[in-house]
Amino acid sequence: MLVFVESAQLRSAAQKMKQYSSDAKNLPDKMVRDAREADRSNRGFKCADGAEELAESFETLLSHFSNYLGDVSTLVGDIADNWDMADEECANDFKTWAWELRRFRVPTIPAWRSVGN
């Protein structure tokens, strides 16, 4: 099994998630304002109350979603960092092995000499 990871792409995904997190947090603002205005303008009507409750629920949902995306983006960024560290450690191991192989000399067996010579 071969695992290939581009840590730069992971970091890019983490940044996009962080931006989506920020965007998600701001999405319900207009909906909440409009629902509150409708409730003030139509006090006592169930429709306005329902719109306000929907807007507040939407705001809560997107707040949780935004927090989730923020947490996941941090995790993905950490994974990219850890992957880079693991790659660097492996590269250092290979450098050590390469250095040791350059110094390695194949042992030779001395030529046999006959006893009488």
The most distant pair of C-alpha atoms in the chain lies apart, rounded to whole Å, by 122
- Residue 25 in contact with residue 59, Cβ under 8 Å? no
Please state, in angstroms and rounded to a whole number, the distance separating the CA atoms of residues 48 and 80.
47
Query: Which residues are CB-contacts of 72 (< 8 A; sequence separation ≥ 6)?
Result: 17
Residue 66: predicted pLDDT: 92
Q: How far is CA 100 from CA 1, 82, 84, in A?
A: 28, 27, 24
Model confidence over 8-57: pLDDT tens digits? Answer: 899 999 999 999 998 888 888 888 888 888 888 877 778 878 888 888 89
pLDDT confidence bin for 98, thresholds 50/70/90: confident
